Structure 1
Amino acid sequence: MKKLLIILAATLVLVLGSSGNFREYYGARGVAVNIADNNSSYIGFECPEMTLYLANGDSTGVISVKNNLGEDVELYFSTPNDILTFSNPTFLYAGEEKLVEAEFRGSQGEYTIPIDIEAFWDNGSAKIPACSVKVVDPAVRMSKVLLSGNTTVPLFTREVWKFRILVESDAGDNYTILDTIPAEFEVLSIAASDGSFATHHPGAGRSCTTKIVWDVYVEGTEFMDVTIATKHNPAGKQEFTSPGSYNLNDGAEIKGLGIVSNPIIVKAVR
């Protein structure tokens, strides 16, 4: 527990503790009460622990903030050289929590970017050194796009989907792309814009997955189109047999670089 100290002062100053929350409040009345850390801090914030893989111009959520002031607040976010650019201000009602997005404006490389917050409310203001995010703009980028097929499907019905693995590189290099098709699906066809590929089936019978290995030189853009369908399970029933969310494939990975694409997810309903 930390002390909430309120003393006579001409201006309002807020001091930030190392955990990323306001720990002490200096204000205009001579009383003191106790507050808890974390949840009852005045402005709570959290940056993602994972590395963000972004290219110049990409936008994503970079910091989560919560207003515990007891009144509405306007927040202005900034970073050195505006390498992360925010649509300021962000307005939060009392008790509101929000994930704030920013646009990355940088070149290829690895960055650790500190975020500062300036907060304004009716009874005061504060400058807050918040947290840092790690951003990597790699020489190669990868994504998945659903080209055809439904994202909501009925149970016990054969469905067909076609998706694309898209690889972009400014450097020009050889890459090995790995992907996994879960056991609920069969691969109907694969077509690549360039390079060579192979499939492997670890496991046995109808319960095995399909592993795709694609070796390709990329300078600019290359892609692989994969067509899959739900198959019969080991009991002979047509997938999907249970409602829920299913990955058409796991996130494709660029071997040796740790770069993973988004998965494509569909929902089975009764």
Structure 2
Amino acid sequence: MRKILPIILVLALSSLILIGSSGTFVYFEAGREVKVAVVPHDKEYLAFTCYEGYAATVVVDKNSSKSFGALTVKNYLNELKEVWIRLDPDYSDLPGDMEVWIESEDGIEREIASGDSYTFMGDINVGDVPEGEYVVPITFYARWNGGDAVVETCPLRIIVVGGPTIEKILLEGNTTVPVHTYEEWKVRILVTNDGLARNLTIEDTIPNEFDVDLGRTSASAGTYEFVAMGNGNGATKLTWNVSLEAGESAYLDMLIYTKKNPAGKQEFTSCGRYPLNDGATIKGFDIRSNSLVVQAVGCDDGKCCVRVHSYLKGCIGKLFLPEGTARDYTTGVWIKNKGSERDFLVVQRIGSQFNVTDYTPSKGTVEFVPLQNGKTLVKWRLHLVHNEKATLEMDEHTDGIMLGNRKSKLYLLASKPIVKNCNQVGGSRINVLVFKRGGCTSECFGSKNSLELLDMEDYEDEN
């Protein structure tokens, strides 16, 4: 039979009882029931269970979450029947990257019938916080027909331990390889358990350019499975289940090789950077390993393979501008590298009637050079890997353009972009048609429709 440590504080039936942490009790041995007398009868009381001085002890890994029983309350108010309980935990001493929730903290009470008990549940979510112990004081509020009580219970103890770690190691194989050539790599996934003994599930994805030689794949512990997606033409999914004691490590070595694509051509079919596999993850933990990447070269023999294009952002009707009208425009250029990794220089001219007021490159640096003819030369320098795309958007403004005796005239807003070091031209020249209000009939526009304004070769230069 468990030893009972009674707290004799007996007041009137409708009394309020506050048991402070500085007085009668602080710590208890494991599994001792604490009785709180709240009515003038020796055999009627409320009780809660403490373990080694704590309502509960929760051991949790870094970067993980779990549910737990926070506090068990028992109702021994035989004659008074039901009691309603709510808990009020104090989280003020917890670090910012630790979130704790305990049932009824929102003020919604739980009803406990006479002779019954109730365990209040909790959830905890821990990020990258320092290892160690954290304490959450808990107060419970009780009420019943004819009385109430406020009781400071044993606190909740949270112990944060180091979680598992995972890394990926390239044991064999080159990180720079030629295209259209069979290559293979030996890759190790290493898992170390710095916390409690646990069962771990490791997941990884091998992209569809590769396959796994199962005959040359092994693990130091646990069981693993590779599942080919897309009838063998897609990615390959790895699931590795392993049990590790505290401080124990395990590894899985796999042989990855380039396969042939559905057309029968040997990967890699184009230059660029290719991940051998995604960063491996430990299921249930916010942990991802490094990713191993190889570079395929030789597809373009040093020649440029690039696409470049210009565009107008917003309504194309803005290209029809009444004389003397101020207006803002946003134009853009995008470039996509289809060849080997390299540096690029993209140039473009902004018309003399327009000023660049702002610009936003997704990467790289931009320089604006005023020209003698009033135009502005845009120089955009950037570095792109294979299949990478970048954009540059610019805001242009005009205070208004006067025509003099003319009824209408085309003005350059932005020229076609040129990739200088590749001698590549793309996209559209963007022109603005300025016309007189009320004095310009259909002959002002003639064949100058919206599409022609975006790529008109015979526009009248303002210089």
Normalised TM-score (structure 1): 0.49
Higher strand share: 1
Bigger Rg, which one: 2
